[in-house]
Amino acid sequence: MALGLLAACGSDGESGGDADTAEDFDFSCPERTDGEPAADAARNDSQPFVFGTPGDPTSLDPILASDGETFRVNRQVFDTLLDADCTDTVPGLAESYEQNEEGTEWTFHLREGVTFHDGQALDGAAVCKNFERWANFKAGYQSPNFTYYYSSVFGGFAENDPAMGIEAESIYKGCAADGLDVTISLSKYTSSFPGAFTLESLSIISPASIDAVADAAIPTADSPLPEYTQTVGTLAGTGPYKLESWDHSSQEVVLTRNDEYFGEPAKVKTVIFKTISDETARRQALEAGDIHGYDLAAPADAQSLLDAGYQVPVRGVFNLLYLAYTQSHAPLEDHAVREALSYAIDRERIVNSVLPAGGMVATQFMPPSLEGYSEDVATYDYDAEKAKQMLADAGAEDLSITFCYPTDVTRPYMPAPKDIFDMISSDLQAAGVTVEAKPITWVDYIPTTRSGECPLYLLGWTGDFADPYNFLGTWFATESTEWGFDNQEVFDAIATANTEPDQATRVDLWKTANEAVMEELPGLPISSSPPSIAFAPDVYPPDVSPLTREDFSQVYFTTGS
């Protein structure tokens, strides 16, 4: 970082990844060496801090969200039982917790004196009311379009709706409260806990908020979100900021300081998240003084911003970009075709020309920082001639395929979607594949890819907590339309690893699961890379998070600039 802050992952601010090996890669979190400069108290109370974001949030109800832009806003307003510091699980609303030997009962000891923004007190009963609400969702509420994280963690609901495609039995057994103590019971151990208790989707809202939205309906998986998720005034959290307004036309969410916050109060009274989808426009807005920081600074801009005195912290690497092969589209069900397409793609060229310094080619569907990363997975190194021959041998030498990519957005794992799409398309065309481009706006992109409509598509993931299941299990725990394959060996390998309580044994099982996934080859892992975030010189920035979980209550304007 500039101004005396250290950057993670060995980045020097220059454009271009390194295509490093896992052994040479630094996944550590950044360490601050800048101290805490004096705050400009008058300015912090009178001037809003404006932060430019790549996209709009989707929902003010955390449980009905699954995207980073929504989480960025909601995590300032709502709190979870546990929190994340770097990738470590730390206290949140619960100041301590313990589990039983089987890992099926989790008892949390809540902080005293915590109140929701509507004045209600936090206690065990409030926590249980949230868990019971989620477990008893009906109809469209059960769709992964709305409660993706809940079903990923708990499997299913109290009564699964067959129309929503949820077949797994819920592992949630119940919640018991005793004053400030609360116990969550599960039917079996899963390695997702305790990390899953840090998920923004599982943020705790006030009991009055739950009562107020009890009659809100989501009849089907294609229904719009309820009105209360789009307007301020219904939901109350316990976080350092309160929701003030959401102007959809100007694409601004305004937060105001919660002076009753149980932790250290925010120094800046007002924070505004303003959507500026174009990365060049975000940089220009920072340089013009219209905003005071923005996310996902383009790799090509990083050094020039540093030279001009701006701060460009680099997050630790905890993400993955991939190309998906949806096997419900012929001939992608043919392993030889998927293998040929994988050999056709020059991933090092993508890493070295598009990604920021510190990027690396991925060999599997998780970053090397996680336990269970395997050095023995099947690999598919770039070989255009081999790809062309394999397609011919598979009878697919005249293959024509639709390739989807997102527009009007940049993501931490995908700083330049169109550039990456163009490079992969040119590689495929060199192997004799005819590519039919299908650009899709981000608001429609996730539903479209999850429904299986795209034969090829680019997507990725920033980890939520440090467990392999948060990567492998998110995608491959069971059959799904977004991947279109049914390989029980893969599903069993992931389930076995996820439910193994012994850590040493579990690490080996995750390696086996990684190897099974890469033998199946549901898609091609492309890269992991360190996303940057930019701030004005007179701003004390938050601690940057490899999980992109920045706490904006740490931000303030400084004196002397």
Contacts of 159 (CB under 8 A, 6+ apart): 136, 138
How many CB atoms are closer than 10 A to CB 471? 24
State the pLDDT at residue 34.
74
**Stretch (H or E) spanning 77:** helix 68-77
Residue the block writes with tokens 């997050």: 315
**Stretch (H or E) spanning 324:** strand 319-325
The answer to whether 420 and 463 are in contact (CB under 8 A) is: no
The answer to whether 341 and 387 are in contact (CB under 8 A) is: yes
Residue the block writes with tokens 């059960």: 142
Given phi > 0 = left and psi -120 to 50 = alpha, else beta, which region is 196? alpha
State the pLDDT at residue 27.
56
Distance CA 118, CA 188 (A): 36
DSSP type of residue 168:
S
Strand partners, 98: 107
State the pLDDT at residue 185.
98
pLDDT, one tens digit for every residue, the chain (561 residues): 233 232 333 333 344 554 444 444 455 566 777 778 999 999 999 999 999 999 899 999 999 999 899 999 999 999 999 999 888 899 999 999 999 999 999 999 999 999 999 999 999 999 999 999 999 999 999 998 899 999 989 999 999 999 998 888 999 999 999 999 999 999 999 999 999 999 999 999 999 999 999 999 999 998 999 999 999 999 999 999 999 999 999 999 999 999 999 999 999 999 999 999 888 999 999 999 999 999 999 888 988 999 999 999 988 889 999 999 999 999 999 999 999 999 999 999 999 999 888 899 999 999 988 989 999 999 999 999 999 999 999 999 999 999 999 998 888 999 899 999 999 999 999 999 999 999 999 889 988 998 999 999 999 999 998 899 999 998 999 999 999 999 999 999 999 999 998 999 999 999 999 999 999 999 999 999 989 999 999 999 999 988 889 999 999 999 975
* β strands within 8-93, DSSP E: 49-53, 82-85, 88-91
3-class secondary structure, 149: helix
How many CB atoms are closer than 10 A to CB 385? 11
Of the candidates 431, 185, 213, 476, the residue with the CA atom closest to the CA atom of residue 320:
476
In the structure encoding, which two tokens stand for residue 10, read together?
Answer: 């060995």
State the pLDDT at residue 1.
29
3-class secondary structure, 7: coil
Distance CA 400, CA 526 (A): 22
Contacts of 20 (CB under 8 A, 6+ apart): 358, 360
Strand partners, 79: 204
State the pLDDT at residue 402.
98
3-class secondary structure, 226: coil
Kindly give the residue spans of alpha helices, DSSP state H, lying in 195-312: 207-212, 279-287, 299-307
The answer to whether 533 and 297 are in contact (CB under 8 A) is: yes
| C-beta pairs of 282-290 under 8 Å, 24+ apart in sequence | 282/52, 282/54, 283/534, 285/52, 286/52, 286/310, 286/534, 286/536, 289/536, 290/50
In the structure encoding, which two tokens stand for residue 424, read together?
Answer: 């992969």
> What's the sign of the alpha-carbon dihedral 137, 140, 143, 147?
negative
State the pLDDT at residue 10.
32
The answer to whether 399 and 331 are in contact (CB under 8 A) is: yes
The total number of residues written for the chain in this structure: 561
Strand partners, 83: 90
Of the candidates 208, 242, 179, 200, the residue with the CA atom closest to the CA atom of residue 81:
200
